[in-house]
Chains A and B, each alone.
Chain A
């Protein structure tokens, strides 16, 4: 059974500082996705990582994938309040693109 782990469940960040959050998973996969969820809202796709060594950047967020270590990182540069949300990673298995989600990390940016 595929397990996807995100730690910690909650992270308080100081505005302007850099942070990295992690997602690790238990079985082989070369497709990993990051989603963002604002309170009471649906999930918004952030990054699609499809191969070992893949790196994607959007604004202050940068995601990378190491399939050998079964690890993805999401790096936050100079945190701002707008980044406060819950971030989920999800790992795909099978041709039907079934996703197994981590429990999510809730980020809160304080002044």
Chain B
């Protein structure tokens, strides 16, 4: 099993739709979790951290399920500008908190 796994997609959704991505991780000792957004040929940028209690930022909601070892990202009311690749990041490999990236999930929002 890979350390961090994501469905690469693409997820093709109309504007206004709600879409959800999951990311599974194998190291039960993982301590911190993030979602990054990466636009085509650009650097990744932090979208949001993922807290145990779940957190929300506008149209974006992130959840952590430690028992099943996955994190999720929910995007409501999708905009054209949400089209990007969403990278899941998990820290905690080997106890050194070095980050491991998933390969990303591609989202395409169409009119």
Whether both chains belong to one complex is answered with no
List chain B positions with a Cβ less than 8 A from chain A.
none
Task: Report which A residues bind B (CB closer than 8 A).
Answer: none
